């Protein structure tokens, strides 16, 4: 992928990534035997997300989401599942904190490569009403991890 030359190009690239995840969501569906299952809603926007997680020891070995809502909430859920799959709960917690920082506009989260495609959502920080959309899947994940904790 060529490096974008301007912030306008970067914005267009990010917009494209969001639409791509919205149109072709990764890890959408349900698991046969989830270890944790969470349903969560964002009443402000009408977004609904169901998240199912399977663990292998301390790692999230598989997860799938279902739901409906705006492009931000569904793209964020898709990106989240892709990014955390196979990672330990400790790594996931760091990413979750950083993504929250990104949404709250706290730098230098935007430069954190661990966030991967989630950085495409950086622009959402300028729209406080949409930050809840972007964080919905992460709130579901946080709850799933907590449900599972001994
Ligand atoms: Zn929304």
pLDDT tens, the chain, 150 aa long: 555 567 777 778 888 999 999 999 999 999 999 999 999 999 999 999 999 999 999 999 999 999 999 999 999 999 999 999 999 999 999 999 999 999 988 867 777 888 888 988 988 888 888 999 999 999 999 999 998 866
Give me ligand 1 centre to Cα 118, in Å. 16
Q: Residues 23, 26, 32, 33: what is their CA dihedral angle, to the nearest 10 degrees?
A: -130
Sign of CA dihedral 111, 114, 116, 121: negative
pLDDT at 87: 97
pLDDT at 110: 73
Give me ligand 1 centre to Cα 73, in Å. 5
Backbone angles phi, psi at 36, to 5 degrees: -145, 140
Give me ligand 1 centre to Cα 142, in Å. 18
Model pLDDT for residues 23-57, shown as the tens digit of each residue: 999 999 999 999 999 999 999 999 999 999 999 99
Give me ligand 1 centre to Cα 131, in Å. 8
Residues forming beta bridges with residue 68, ordered by sequence position: 48
pLDDT at 19: 94
Give me ligand 1 centre to Cα 45, in Å. 5
Burial of 43 by CB count in 10 Å (0-12 exposed, 13-18 middle, 19+ buried)?
exposed
Give me ligand 1 centre to Cα 65, in Å. 15
Give me ligand 1 centre to Cα 150, in Å. 32
pLDDT at 103: 92
């Amino acid at each position: 992928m060529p490096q974008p030359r301007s912030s306008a190009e970067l914005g267009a690239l990010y917009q494209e990534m969001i639409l791509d995840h919205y149109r072709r969501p990764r890890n959408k569906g349900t698991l046969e035997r989830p270890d944790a299952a969470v349903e969560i809603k964002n009443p402000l926007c009408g977004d609904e997300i169901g998240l199912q997680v399977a663990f292998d020891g301390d790692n999230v070995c598989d997860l799938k989401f279902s739901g409906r809502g705006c492009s931000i909430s569904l793209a964020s859920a898709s990106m989240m599942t892709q990014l955390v799959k196979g990672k330990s709960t400790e790594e996931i917690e760091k990413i979750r904190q950083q993504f929250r920082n990104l949404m709250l506009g706290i730098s230098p989260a935007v430069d954190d490569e661990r966030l991967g495609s989630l950085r495409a959502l950086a622009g959402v920080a300028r729209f406080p009403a949409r930050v809840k959309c972007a964080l919905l899947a992460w709130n579901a994940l946080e709850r799933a991890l907590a449900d599972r904790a001994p």
